[in-house]
């Protein structure tokens, strides 16, 4: 049993992220799901508070998952929450290229190790950017995101 920290921007959270949380829960037992935001530079579709609310709703039935919003370096948050490892999901070799550099940088700075978890192939093509783009044009993304996110996207783009 270990505690792992999963950082990301999650704007918005999608089923690929949920799969990684579920895999990490299964592998390690305790997950801190962290929305990492630069509060000095607000941007994105959902506000930090909205992203947190959507994650809390999505993971409400999972024992062992806590959700929080954090600022600053992922390594500092990982230390603050007492994480043994960071976990990152990988969809592709392109993800690996970026993530392995971050993992080495983070380990060299703080000693924390990053564990890569391959995503469920069913979600290998899903990205928050495409979810935002398709939803903004009224496209159906309900099969790719948790129900609370689907509702929030509909509300957001119908002026609700
Ligand atoms: O969901 P994303 O946008 O791919 O998440 C990227 C994130 C937030 C995990 C990454 O940018 C990050 O760790 N940001 C915090 C700042 C930090 O620690 N930077 C140093 C990285 S080596």
pLDDT at 160 over 90: no
What positions carry a catalytic annotation? 17, 41, 91, 128
Over residues 148-158, the pLDDT tens digits come to 999 999 999 98
Residue with CA closest to ligand 1 atom 17: 73
**Model confidence at 39, in pLDDT bands (50, 70, 90)?**
low
pLDDT tens sequence across 64-116:
999 999 999 999 999 999 999 999 999 999 999 999 999 999 999 999 999 99
- 73 CB under 6 A from ligand 1? yes
pTM of the model: 0.95
Q: What is the dihedral of CA 120, 73, 104, 3, to 10 degrees?
A: -50
Kindly indicate the confidence band of residue 41, based on its pLDDT and cuts at 50, 70 and 90. Answer: low
Tell which atom from ligand 1 comes closest to the C-alpha of 75.
Answer: 18
Look over the chain and give the mean of its residue pLDDT values, rounded to a whole number.
95
Three-class secondary structure of residue 12 per DSSP: coil
Task: Residue 124: count other Cβ atoms within 10 Å of its Cβ.
Answer: 13
Domains annotated for the chain, with CATH where assigned, are: 2-124 (3.40.50.620)
């Amino acid at each position: 049993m270990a505690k792992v920290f999963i950082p990301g921007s999650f704007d918005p959270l999608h089923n690929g992220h949920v799969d990684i949380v579920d895999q990490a829960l299964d592998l390690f037992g305790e997950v801190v799901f962290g929305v990492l935001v630069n509060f000095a530079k607000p941007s994105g579709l959902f506000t930090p508070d909205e992203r947190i609310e959507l994650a809390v709703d999505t993971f409400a039935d999972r024992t062992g998952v806590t959700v929080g919003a954090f600022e600053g370096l992922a390594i500092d948050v990982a230390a603050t929450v007492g994480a043994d490892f960071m976990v990152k999901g990988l969809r592709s070799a392109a993800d690996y290229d970026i993530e392995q550099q971050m993992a080495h940088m983070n380990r060299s700075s703080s000693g924390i190790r990053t564990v890569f978890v391959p995503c469920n192939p069913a979600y290998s093509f899903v990205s928050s950017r495409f979810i935002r783009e398709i939803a903004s044009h009224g496209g159906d993304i309900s099969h790719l995101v948790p129900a609370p996110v689907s509702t929030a996207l509909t509300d957001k783009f119908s002026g609700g």
